[in-house]
């Protein structure tokens, strides 16, 4: 599937996944996505030695929080190249879980 001179990106770019793209929502709110399970299967098919990990915070928990919300930090390694990414924790409407800026309490 991949030529020795291809970069990792070029090799994966050649993989046709159009029949596995899913859509969530309707109209302007519609979002196209590829399931992680399917994407990971394709990566492991091309690069069997690839791996990923979710990094833990100082308390050993697999998420990070600050005044703005909750994030997960991940790393994917393919052919000795490691890329990290911060991913927001999303709710059922695909909105980032953000800590409220202010609170309301009735008097």
Q: What digits encode the pLDDT tens for the residues 65-96?
A: 887 889 999 999 999 999 999 999 888 777 88
User: Any idea what DSSP says for residue 104?
Assistant: -
Domain boundaries, the chain: 1-48, 49-100
pTM of structure: 0.73
Residue 30, CA atoms < 13 Å, CB-side half-sphere: 7
Q: How many CB atoms lie within 10 A of CB 39?
A: 15
More confident residue, 87 or 6: 87
Residue 62 φ/ψ, nearest 5 degrees:
-85, 35
Q: What digits encode the pLDDT tens for the residues 24-35?
A: 888 888 889 999
DSSP code string of 33-87? EE-HHHHHHHHHHH-TT-EEEEEP-TTS-S-EE-SS-EEEEEEEEETTEEEEEEE
Q: What digits encode the pLDDT tens for the residues 32-50?
A: 999 999 999 999 999 999 9
Residues 54/76, Cβ–Cβ less than 8 Å: no
Tell me, letter by letter, the H, E, C secondary structure of 18-42: HHHEEEECCHHHCEEEECHHHHHHH
């Amino acid at each position: 599937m991949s030529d020795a001179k291809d970069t990792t990106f070029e090799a994966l770019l050649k993989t046709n996944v159009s029949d596995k793209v899913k859509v969530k929502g309707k109209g302007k709110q519609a979002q196209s996505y590829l399931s992680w399970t399917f994407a990971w299967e394709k990566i492991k098919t091309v690069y069997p030695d690839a791996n990923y990990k979710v990094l833990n915070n100082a308390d050993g928990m697999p998420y990070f929080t600050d005044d703005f919300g909750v994030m997960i930090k991940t790393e994917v390694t393919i052919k000795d190249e490691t890329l990290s990414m911060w991913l927001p924790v999303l709710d059922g409407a695909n909105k980032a879980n953000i800590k409220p800026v202010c609170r309301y309490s009735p008097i």
